[in-house]
Amino acid sequence: MTCYIAVDVGGTQIRAACYPDDSSTPAVVERIPTRIAGEDALERIISLIRYVWPENGEVQGVGVAAPGPLDPYQGIIFNAPNIEGWIDFPLQARLEEALGARVAIGNDANLAALGESSYGAGQGHSHLIYITVSTGVGGGIIVGDQLLLGHQGLAAEIGHVTVMPDGPMCGCGHRGHLEALASGPSIARWFEEQLERGAQSSLSIQPRPITAKMIGQAAKKGDPLSIEAITRAGEYLGLALTGLAHIFNPTVIIIGGGVSRTGSLLLEPLRKTMEREILSPQYMQVLTITTAALGDDAGLAGALALAHTLNR
């Protein structure tokens, strides 16, 4: 039996799964916490992969989704903020040495796009934009069935597109980026600012901090300030995606991440903004805007799709 192994190195947990042949249903999945004090992350990842390794099978490739920024061509992690010592870290070479198998690595948001494209909401689409709206805002772009990587593998940093010159500070140290206006923490920050200015909400009596998850739930129950907060995030996403649609002319835009669980509360203002700002209606006539289908499994699915490319 030939198999593929997919690994998703997340901020809180690392998952590994073994898939037989062409299946996207894992034969075995295992997870461990990303950080355990005093233990080496690489050694733990190798042990996890060996745990899911098939006893009587041949592994054709190992795909790894890792937090960026990284170089997918050389297999080097430039900087993983959640993992101590992973600076210019040659993850691909170290894993290949230890496992004796071919390994490829990719940025987790890019691979989530590949996962949705191969196994999720983007199936059948050759031109796709995926955006994850969570603690941060990341994304991936597929053009003509190819994942867009750029010269160094640093392409598709959708969260750091400027949508408000001189706007709020982004986590990257620059102002007015999409992530500073539409990420979960940015939604919560704007919301708390409105409360401080005297705005009323069903969440006014809640102890601080107020989270984007609480705002999303209150919005679904009809709280006007919460609806405004989600609408505002949707409008900034729509602005950034209008620019991207002009460049890439996609047939599907997929929104993932925790904030996407607000569904139409986020997607409708996003769509309306695009309809208003787009160069011509032709772009929208072919375009589906939808939420992600794979949820937290998108990165793992993308790592599987990446592993398959090693066998071509």
Closest to Zn ion by CB, 20 vs 167, is 167
Closest to Zn ion by CB, 177 vs 261, is 177
Closest to Zn ion by CB, 52 vs 239, is 239
Closest to Zn ion by CB, 120 vs 257, is 257
Looking at this protein, which amino acid is placed at residue 158? I
Angle at the Cα of 169 from the Cα atoms of 163 and 175, rounded to 5 degrees:
45
Find the shortest distance in angstroms from Cβ 163 to Zn ion: 11
Q: Closest residue to Zn ion, Cβ-based?
A: 170
Find the shortest distance in angstroms from Cβ 298 to Zn ion: 22
Closest to Zn ion by CB, 57 vs 243, is 243
Distance, in Å, from the CA atom of 133 to the CA atom of 106, rounded to the nearest integer, reads 19
Find the shortest distance in angstroms from Cβ 122 to Zn ion: 25
Give residues with Cβ within 8 angstroms of 222, minimum separation 6.
none
Q: What six digits make up the tokens of 93? A: 């070479």
Give the footprint of Zn ion on this chain (CB under 5 A): 160, 170, 172, 177
Find the shortest distance in angstroms from Cβ 77 to Zn ion: 20
Find the shortest distance in angstroms from Cβ 175 to Zn ion: 8
Residue 92's CB is within 10 A of a number of other CB atoms, namely: 23
Among residues 88, 183, 188, 190, the alpha carbon closest in space to that of 138 is found at: 183
Among residues 32, 10, 172, the alpha carbon closest in space to that of 107 is found at: 10
CA distances from 267 to 1, 168, 237 (A): 43, 23, 9
Distance, in Å, from the CA atom of 225 to the CA atom of 203, rounded to the nearest integer, reads 9
Closest to Zn ion by CB, 127 vs 177, is 177
Find the shortest distance in angstroms from Cβ 133 to Zn ion: 14
Closest to Zn ion by CB, 57 vs 167, is 167
* DSSP class per residue in 268-306: HHHHHHHHHH-S-THHHHT-EEEE-SSGGGHHHHHHHHH
Find the shortest distance in angstroms from Cβ 240 to Zn ion: 12
Range list of H helices, 53-141: 91-99, 108-119
